[in-house]
Amino acid sequence: MFTLDIDQAGATTQIWANLDIEAQWGGAKLKTHVLRRISAASALLVALAPPGPVEIFAPVAVDPRRIKISDLKMRVGAPQRFDLAWADPSAKAVNDRRFALSLRDELGVALAGARVIESLDELDAHIETTGARRWVCKAPWTAAGRDRAHGVRKGGDHVYIARLLERCGALVFEPWLERIVDLGVAASVVRDGTVQLHGIHTLRVDPRGMFVGIDLAAPQLTDDESSRMMFVARSVARHLALAGYVGPFTIDAFVYRDEHGERALHPISEINARYTFGHVALGFAQRFGTQTLGFGAPPEGAQVLVEAGEHDPVTAWVA
């Protein structure tokens, strides 16, 4: 069961929706339209609060006409006091993709060809050595598919990659694989060192791996893949605790076809040591009995939570 450590039912819950935290960690300046989008999405964090009025503090102002959620007031900035934060500002180290990369090696689930890249020459040499036909380079701290570059063989936007390297100092290189299903495990590291696992959910992504929603229906995995995924999730939780992290986290993973066309599980694609929309989807499931949290055109019968706006065409909905 998904629960929150807030014992104040009926009182006003204050939530710091610092959805721009990865950009702050990575030294990036988000564009205005991105700040508007993540601030509107911040309204969905109401699902993490107990019953009663909620105040959510977002990076920029949100047109209140867009919000279709009762007992919610949107504020701007960081509150002086908050009951819950989207991300712990001190959790920078465990949200670094290099932390996840190292942990894959330690747990014996490394992705062949994945490594840290610190220069364009190093990138070209690695592509030549591995023979990677398609690949992606990701900044150490990002969210929602930002600050990453896709390429084919040596064909890539080297100007953009050079800018990322100048700002970040290093990027994580990974081969781009033929994904069959994307999935995640939402969980929490409790202060007593125990872990709460909330099950495996399906990630809804576009062809470039960009996040577009959560389906709480179990993904189509084999029994062995499901067991392995939960074992890895517990192992990740132990390592997060050893690193001093307490709180919510999600592991993103995927099943893909290897070079022989065989099915394979990559159990650690990302480690997000914070609340994620997997936790949000679970919260709405408890409130409304819904199964899907989506961003984009809502299907017939869906409950719209955040309408599209003049400067943000994305609608958030549950069904």
Condensed to tens digits (0 to 9), the pLDDT of residues 119-162 reads 999 999 999 999 988 999 999 999 878 899 999 876 678 899 99
Considering only CA atoms, give the Rg of the chain: 19
- Nearest in space to 253 (alpha carbons), one of 285, 222, 225: 225
Strand ranges (DSSP E) for the chain?
13-16, 54-58, 72-76, 84-85, 115-117, 134-138, 148-152, 155-156, 171-175, 178-189, 195-205, 211-215, 247-257, 263-272, 292-295, 303-306, 316-318
pLDDT tens digits, 204-227 = 987 766 788 999 999 999 999 999
The reported pTM is 0.93
Arithmetic mean of pLDDT, 50-61: 96
Q: Is pLDDT of 173 > 60?
A: yes
Query: Residue 209's pLDDT is what?
Result: 67
User: Per-domain residue ranges for the chain?
Assistant: 13-87+277-318, 115-175, 177-272
- Name which CATH class applies to 177-272: alpha beta
β-strand partners of 109: none
